[in-house]
Structure 1
Amino acid sequence: MFWLWAYRWRATLMAIGVGVLAALMRLTTLGSPTTLVFDEVFYARGAYSLVSQGYEGDWTGEDQLFASGDYSGLQTKGDYVVHPMVGKLLIAAGIKAFGPTPFGWRISAAVFGIATVVLVALIARSLLGSTLWGGVAGLLLAVDGLHITMSRTALLDGFLAFFVVAGFGLLVLDRARFRRRLAAAMASAGPDGARGGGPVVGVRWWRLLAIVAFALAASTKWSGLYFAAVFLVLSVVWDMVDRRAAGIEGWLVGSAVRAVPTFLATIVLIPTVYVATWWNWFVTDGSYARQWAEKHPGEGVTWLPESLRSLVDYHRQMWDFHTHLTSPHSYESHPNGWILQVRPTAFYFEDVPDIAGDERWVSAITSLGNPLIWWAGFAALLFAVWRLLIHRDTMGLVLSLGILAGWLPWVPYAHRTIFTFYAVAFVPFVVMLVAWALQRIAQPDGPRTWSRGGWIAVGVFIGVVLIVSGYYLPLWRGDPIPYDLWRLHMWLPTWI
């Protein structure tokens, strides 16, 4: 009886299982270290300013005074920030709930990170048609070091990853619903249903919600727009494939025509949601550049209201910053090395005093993905190409699109100061692609067959991944370890 119940609720139990594991990895010792880690100096202090005065004020004095509870450096002058609002508002929500403590400014990132793991497991379950392989994808993300580190740090990229995954998941739901409604419409219409591009299946509510999710991604970091473009085009291609499979005449033109409402909704919803997320900037006089239009009459986009004209010019300044940021940084990295984790970012490194003995101890946080997962991800990309060419297997291509959307757009900006941790936006697709490849290895002839050698290889791989994650966990949480042990974790010279 228990096994029958467990089988019936297997998807729920799987989601709970990977969620609990993700929570253990992300919530334990979340308040450590007690100092601002890497770019938390911008986002945690900015979020506190949002809570205390409604906008992001400039700061003076030593950066770490904030972590010690000294907020006297906050000024009423608006701070020149160069990213949209959503991620910082979410960090502010954590501070509002738990106070301006390390736990308070990191809890939102942790919660959204845990939610991302659960979403990935459920999406992979749907795409791969298996609760087991959905669980494998969730497990891999739950124990990946890059995602763990970004879920334990008050930066923006983890929120970006959540909204991208949510948008993709909503498009997966939209396709499933579209297929059901298309089949029902075709059955009720009879032979005439295949004519004229096929039947109209009503409002695509899941797709509209996906557009909103992508808008929130872009409202966290502008790079969310790349994912929106790739996945919304993919959704239209899915429509074409499904209409053709249903035997609809003129499926190509019919799908293109029916994509027009989606295009119109996109160009309306994304700007609308984006501008709405700047509400605190509009309602506060102290925000940076809020009064620009009043001080520069006749300049900028003159046909807009003053508030929007100020916002547009502010974004021009932000664009100039991002396109000309070339300040040297010891941990900047070329996008070519991201998928192999060639140059991870050191977020934190301090000697730990008061440890018994003469041995040197350190506390370090390195945004390094589990090397085996990422190296397998690169191999899975090549495997996806092979499967597409030889077996016409398109699932690997679909998941690869999520990687390419978050990776390739950065290549033209390799001259800029950019970092490997940006790859957290596409690590959900890396683990789903790896889970897909493992499924193909363990079940090469279909879902009801198993390869004994393949299953053993997959089991060994997952076991070694878990061992490696346990080995690197101190470097993802900042646990004190001997310096010599830290050196043993540096497998590549570029990691130091």
Structure 2
Amino acid sequence: MTASDLESDTAAEVAERSRLEHWWHARTEQQRRLLSWSGPVGVTLLAAFLRLWNLGHPQALVFDETYYVKDAWTLWNLGYEGSWPEDPNPAFEAGQTGIFSADPSFVVHPPLGKWIIGLGMVFDDGQSAFGWRITTALVGIAAVVLLMLIAKRLTGSLALGTLAGFLLAIDGNAIVMSRVAILDNSVMLFALLGFGAILLDRRSMETQLALWAARTTDRDWGPALWRRPWLLAAGVTFGLCASVKWNGLYFLAILAVYTVVVDALARRRLGVPFWLPSTLLKQAPVSFLLTVPAALAVYLLTWTGWFATDGGYSRTWADDPRNAWTGAFAWVPLPIQSFLHYEQLVYGYHVTETDPHNYQANPLTWLLLIRPTSMYYLGSDLGQNGCEATRCGEWISGIANPLIWWASVAAAGYLVYRLIRRREWQVGLVLAALAAGYLPWLMYLNRTVFQFYTIAFEPYLILALTIVLGLVAGRPTDPLWRRQAGRRVIAVFLVASVLVSAFFYPVWTGIQVPTEFIRLHYWLPTWL
């Protein structure tokens, strides 16, 4: 590149910047504000459309809806999960929702996710699939909005925040999990709320430490910070997460450790001589008291229906003198003894569940998208159910948008390298949350698990991709050619992602299409 080229680039950059600034400043303040937020509003409306359109199709219990929808209905009617007669699904799908009994059913997940599903059912007496799924869809829409807010806070860029929300809005895993009434979408939302609270607590903690440092000359040990409302909020939201599924506990545990590490590093930067023992002996116990009791209290609160009635599974186990505790723990209330016995039974189920399933997916294959979960399939011949081809199918498969998924995984891998080299706190926080959602499953490689469990940590894959796309876009101080090239790469990626999502949308939503069209979606033989 010659000197004249550099001068030309600089002139072009100045000219472009001047045109943009002239156009932008020609707008009124109200117009600028509306333009700034039109992107997030548009993404929210797009997410709502993709999740709500034809939500009541199919009018059938899809995959694990057969458990959670019926459990939700008895939970709202009895206060606990009741039992159903043999083969109840056809009658239930036809609107006969009162055929359950008061006999308790052994269920292996806490009640909050089912309370959420049941909330939508009470408005139409459980008659429609739309009612089964509406609250799960709203949870998915809320997650898109929340991710945009978090990404904006994390990166300092409204454009990148909007981009993160857009990627989640059009991804197939997120769309399917918002259109099927099972529990994992709620796990994702509450974990994301906790992540946001941890993000806000970081800045609050650093501000308080700076104020302390400005007021004192005795810095040997550092303070114990009790005024950390966002840490308390994290405890509450992670408690809600664990009240849907127990894997929410991993988010609480790993991100709590993250806060201890962040506290220690902040004290070291301030020059606190005993920064490590100060953190471990003074701040860590305070942080524990701000998070864990709140999480436990919330968890127990979600079991109110079980405690308030006598019919739940194992509810009166300790009432039998042969079962009640004796000795030093005899004082423990009988309902608590029964509850802990029930939790022990649930734990035993979770660690021994190895029944084979056609769509089970080993966690080692999740990041490669090897075995997505087929949620529903209905085949029709010519003339059946409106089929106009020789053979048609209605397929709901939890295949993520392959382009977004694989790019996100690659971005997360790059961020591991970047964290080692640059130690950026934003990268560390995203990778900590990703680790909380994924790594614990590697302890259960022989257990029957599914690809759709990945929805719990997909937002952090999207955040990783967003951070990398922000690096591709370049900084305002980069040469014009560099920023233009970055924008072109991002534009091509986004257009390709939209086209892939449009191609897969029929098999994410059960739209009837010719089976030849369905076969075009078997990009890997394991997707069949």
Scaled to the shorter chain, the TM-score interval is: over 0.9
Contact 1:240 1:252 in 2 (8 A): yes
1:245 matched to 2:269? The reply is yes
Question: Post-superposition shift, 1:98?
Answer: 4.1
Q: Give the whole-Å Cα distance in 2 for the aligned partners of 1:96 and 1:448.
A: 59
Structure 1 position 262, deviation (Å): 1.2
Mapping for residues 241-320 of structure 1, pairs under 5 Å? 241-256=265-280, 257-299=282-324, 302-320=330-348
Quote the residue 1:360 is aligned against.
391
Which deviates more, 253-262 or 385-394? 385-394
Cα distance in 2 between the residues matched to 1:260 and 1:490: 52
Flag the 1:103–1:356 CA change in 2: closer, same or farther, 3 A.
closer
Aligned match of 1:386:
417
Percentage identity across paired residues of the two chains: 38
- 1:359 is displaced (CA, Å) by 2.1
For residue 437 of structure 2, what is the amino acid of its counterpart? G
Moved more, 209-218 or 392-401: 392-401
Q: Aligned residue for 1:73? A: 99
Aligned to 2:48: 23
Please give the alpha-carbon distance, in whole angstroms, between the structure 2 residues aligned to 1:442 and 1:143.
21
| Residues 1:325 and 2:353 are matched in the alignment | yes
Q: Does the Cα contact within 8 Å between 2:188 and 2:457 map onto a contact in 1?
A: yes
Q: Displacement, 1:195?
A: 1.2
Given that residues 87 and 156 in structure 1 are in contact (C-alpha distance below 8 angstroms), is that contact kept between their aligned partners in structure 2?
Answer: yes
Q: Which amino acid aligns with 1:331?
A: Y
Secondary structure at 2:513 match in 1: strand
Equivalent position amino acid for 2:362 in 1: H
Bigger shift: 438-447 or 104-113? 438-447
Deviates more, 1:33-42 or 1:240-249: 240-249
Match of 1:434 among 440, 445, 465: 465
- Taking a change above 3 Å as real, the CA distance of residues 476 and 444 of structure 1, as seen in their structure-2 partners, is same
Counterpart secondary structure, 2:103:
strand
**1:168-187 equivalent positions in 2, closer than 5 A:** 168-187=195-214
Residue 22 of structure 2 corresponds to none
Map of 1:228 onto structure 2:
252
1:144-195 Cα offsets, whole Å, 9 max, x none, are 11111111111010000000000010111112222333334444x1xx3561
What is the alpha-carbon distance in structure 2 between the residues aligned to residue 319 and residue 173 of structure 1? 33
Question: CA 1:293–1:143 in 2, change beyond 3 Å: closer, same or farther?
Answer: same
Partner of 2:488: 456
Match of 2:12 in 1: none
Determine the C-alpha separation between the residues in 1 that align with 2:284 and 2:298.
Answer: 21
Give 3-state SS (helix, strand or coil) of 1:286's partner.
coil
Is the counterpart of residue 417 in structure 1 residue 444 in structure 2? no
Is 2:112 the partner of 1:86? Answer: yes
* 1:156-175 mapped onto 2 (5 Å cutoff): 156-175=183-202
- Of 215, 239, 254, the residue aligned with 1:215 is 239
Cα-to-partner distance string for 1:39-76 (whole Å, 9 max, x where unaligned): 10111111111222222111113223211111353111
Q: CA deviation at 1:313?
A: 0.7
Q: Aligned equivalents of 2:435 and 2:385: distance in 1? A: 47
Gaps of 5+ in 2: 1-25
Alignment gaps of 5+ in structure 1: none
Aligned counterpart, 2:79: 54
**Alpha-carbon distance in structure 1 between the residues aligned to 2:183 and 2:479:** 42
- Rounded Cα–Cα distance in structure 2 between residues aligned with 1:356 and 1:265: 58
1:115-194 paired onto structure 2 within 5 Å: 115-187=142-214, 189=215, 192-193=216-217
Which residue of 471, 479, 482 maps to 2:503?
Answer: 471
- Please tell me whether Structure 1 or Structure 2 has the larger radius of gyration of its CA atoms: 2
Hey, what does 1:400 align to over in structure 2? 431
Cα distance change, pair 390–262 in 1 and its aligned pair in 2 (3 A): closer
Letter in 1 for 2:513: I
Alignment match, 1:45: 70
Instruction: Give the letter aligned to residue 498 of structure 2.
Output: L
Give yes or no for contact 2:396–2:510 (8 Å, CA) kept in 1.
yes
Q: Classify 1:123/1:73 alpha carbon distance in 2 versus 1 (closer, same or farther; 3 Å).
A: same
The separation in 1 between residues aligned to 2:246 and 2:447, in whole angstroms, is 16
Report the Cα offset of residue 310 of structure 1.
0.7
Give TM-score scaled by structure 2 length. 0.88
Aligned 8 A contact 1:302 1:309 in 2: no
Alignment-derived partner of residue 374 in structure 2: 346
On the 8 A contact 2:389/2:514 being kept in 1, the answer is no
Distance in 2 (CA, whole Å) between partners of 1:4 and 1:151 is 37
Alpha-carbon distance in structure 2 between the residues aligned to 1:200 and 1:225: 25
Deviation at 1:327, TM superposition (A): 0.9
Distance, in Å, in 2 between the alignment partners of 1:389 and 1:313 is: 45
Deviation string, structure 1 residues 350-390 (Cα, Å, up to 9, x no partner): 02423354421111100111111110122112211222233
What's the TM-score once normalised by structure 1's chain length?
0.94
Partners of 1:476 and 1:311 in 2: CA distance = 39
CA distance in 1, matches of 2:472, 2:521: 30
Q: Residues 358 and 154 from structure 1, CA distance in 2 versus in 1: closer, same or farther, beyond 3 angstroms?
A: closer
Q: Is 1:15–1:122's contact at 8 Å kept on the other side of the alignment?
A: no
Picking from 362, 381, 393, the partner of 1:334 is 362
8 A Cα contact 1:193 1:248, kept in partner: no
Once the two structures are TM-superposed, the CA of residue 341 in structure 1 deviates from its matched residue by 1.3
